[in-house]
Structure 1
Amino acid sequence: MFYWLLKYVLLGPLLRLVFRPDVRGLGNVPADGPVILACNHLSFSDSIFTPLMVKRRVTFVAKAEYFTGKGIKGKLMRQFFLGTGTIPVDRSGGQAAQAALDTLLRVLREGGVAGIYPEGTRSPDGRLYRGKTGVARLALESGARVVPVALLNTDEIQPTGTLIPKIRRVRMAFGAPLDFSRYDAARGDRFVERAITDEIMYELMVLSGRPYVDVYASKLKTSIEMPGAVPAERSEAIRQQPFRRDASTPADR
């Protein structure tokens, strides 16, 4: 009940009034059945705008710390995430990624809509980075269609590290649904999972117009946050990595 109140009465109308969304291709989201929204990730606000723009309920997962904050800020954040259908997942253990996928798989098997960021983390510089194959496993296990969703300027609206977003028109684009049922017989094949993931990332690159880097964003973040953890020459190579359509290395997941 609170979800619908927040989306259609409270927060949704306010955000539409303030940020005047320019959303293309929203009709590409199927009206029923399991659907995966595979989004690029530029800003914290991605998880706000995406579920509020889609007519169906969209479930993302978020780290449990967002639900355990203290004081007024913590309570407001907890209510917001609960109200937008976000599910907390404990990311402190080694099975965190699998726990998140299991949660989204349950949503899909119930015919719902699951949101996921294939890059696994926010882009450190606005470019699109190599996708992790969890999105492919979700698609194969659930039979869900995958709709690529390009957040086009949320990094300008709320850059990383800022609390208050800038008042600008938010722009988003939804691509045509991708059907991977042709791979049903190849579930568990890591080469197939990589091929599916690369196809999704290619569609996101085309939709977003962002340069694609065939490196995991987490590696670049490590080189920035922990100087010396990644050799200097490797760090610089990551920063300058160009887009390569044939740069698939299935074993590196």
Structure 2
Amino acid sequence: MLYRLFKYILIGPVLWVFGRPTIEGHRNIPRKGPVILAGNHRAVVDSFFLVLKVRRRITFVAKSEYFTGSGIKGALQRWFFGGAGQVPIDRSGADASRAALDTAVGILKRGGVWAIYPEGTRSPDGRLHKGKTGVIRVALETGVPVIPVVVHGGDAVNPPGTRMWRFSKVHVSVGKPIDFSRYRELRTHQAVVRAATDELMAALCEQSGQEYVDLYGADVKSRDSL
């Protein structure tokens, strides 16, 4: 109920006004059954436009800080991010990565749609960065195909570094599912998981038209902040 309220009443009309969003390739997402959506990430609003344009309910794994605030502001923030399809995960401990992956596996075992940004963070410079291997680990563990999704124009509506929104045009592109089952017998080999992750990032690069850089986005952010 909260998800539908968020999608159609709370934020949906605002997104329509600012982004006039369109989508292509929606039929590449099956109507039922577990699905992994792996996307590029250039703006905070990317997730909101995916929620708006994809017909099925999408679930993201989000940092727990979004859900632990106090007072009215904290309650509103929990309501907002919960409505946006995000579930909290504590990323501060040594087992944070495993906990996040276990949460994703649970979503898929229930037949849900799990969405993730393989770069692990928003792009600091508009380019597509090296992907982290978590999405492929989950895909190989569950046997669920990965569908590349690209949001074009989210950064024009919500430019990085500003809270102001601008009128622009957003387009969501849904690629064909990628079957990584051929890697499944070798899923414990890091080199194999890395190769499959690079294959996914190559598909996202071609679909998005972004320049690819073989560096993690978080490392680029750290370097640029020095």
State the TM-score, normalized to the length of structure 1. 0.84
Which protein shows a greater Rg? Answer: 1
The Cα shift of 1:132 comes to 0.8
Q: In structure 2, what is the Cα distance between the partners aligned to 1:223 and 1:9?
A: 41
Could you tell me which runs of 5 or more consecutive residues in structure 1 were left unpaired when the two chains were aligned: 228-253
**Letter in structure 2 aligned against 1:92:** S
Correspondence 1:29 to 2:29: yes
SS at match of 2:182: helix
Instruction: Name the counterpart of 1:103.
Output: 103
Instruction: Name the counterpart of 2:54.
Output: 54
Instruction: Name the counterpart of 1:246.
Output: none
Instruction: Name the counterpart of 1:145.
Output: 145
Q: In structure 2, what is the Cα distance between the partners aligned to 1:8 and 1:142?
A: 32
Correspondence 1:82 to 2:82: yes
Q: In structure 1, what is the Cα distance between the partners aligned to 2:156 and 2:17?
A: 18
Q: In structure 2, what is the Cα distance between the partners aligned to 1:171 and 1:223?
A: 31
| RMSD (Å), alpha carbons | 1.6
Q: In structure 1, what is the Cα distance between the partners aligned to 2:167 and 2:120?
A: 27
Residues 93-242 of structure 1 aligned to structure 2 (within 5 Å): 93-225=93-225, 227=226
CA separation of 1:178/1:69 partners in 2, compared to 1, >3 Å: closer, same or farther? same
Q: In structure 2, what is the Cα distance between the partners aligned to 1:19 and 1:123?
A: 20
Q: In structure 1, what is the Cα distance between the partners aligned to 2:24 and 2:76?
A: 30
SS at match of 1:163: coil
Once structures 1 and 2 are overlaid, which stretch shifts more, 158-167 or 69-78? 69-78
The Cα shift of 1:52 comes to 2.0
SS at match of 1:60: strand
How many positions carry a matched residue from both structures?
226
**Letter in structure 1 aligned against 2:75:** K
State the TM-score, normalized to the length of structure 2. 0.93
Q: Which has the higher contact order (CA 8 A, sep 6+)?
A: 2
The Cα shift of 1:72 comes to 4.4
Q: In structure 2, what is the Cα distance between the partners aligned to 1:27 and 1:21?
A: 17
Instruction: Name the counterpart of 1:65.
Output: 65
Is the 1:34–1:142 Cα contact (8 Å) retained in structure 2? no
Q: In structure 1, what is the Cα distance between the partners aligned to 2:169 and 2:57?
A: 23
Q: In structure 2, what is the Cα distance between the partners aligned to 1:83 and 1:182?
A: 36
SS at match of 2:11: helix
Could you tell me which runs of 5 or more consecutive residues in structure 2 were left unpaired when the two chains were aligned: none
SS at match of 2:92: coil
Is the 2:22–2:53 Cα contact (8 Å) retained in structure 1? no
Q: In structure 2, what is the Cα distance between the partners aligned to 1:46 and 1:169?
A: 12
SS at match of 2:162: coil
Q: In structure 2, what is the Cα distance between the partners aligned to 1:186 and 1:169?
A: 42
Q: In structure 1, what is the Cα distance between the partners aligned to 2:73 and 2:169?
A: 26
Q: In structure 2, what is the Cα distance between the partners aligned to 1:43 and 1:73?
A: 22
**Letter in structure 2 aligned against 1:130:** K
Is the 1:39–1:118 Cα contact (8 Å) retained in structure 2? yes
Is the 2:153–2:168 Cα contact (8 Å) retained in structure 1? no
C-alpha offsets along residues 108-153 of structure 1, whole Å, 9 cap, x if unaligned?
A: 1111110011111111100000001111101101111111011222
Q: In structure 2, what is the Cα distance between the partners aligned to 1:25 and 1:88?
A: 29
Once structures 1 and 2 are overlaid, which stretch shifts more, 23-32 or 141-150? 23-32
The Cα shift of 1:73 comes to 4.0
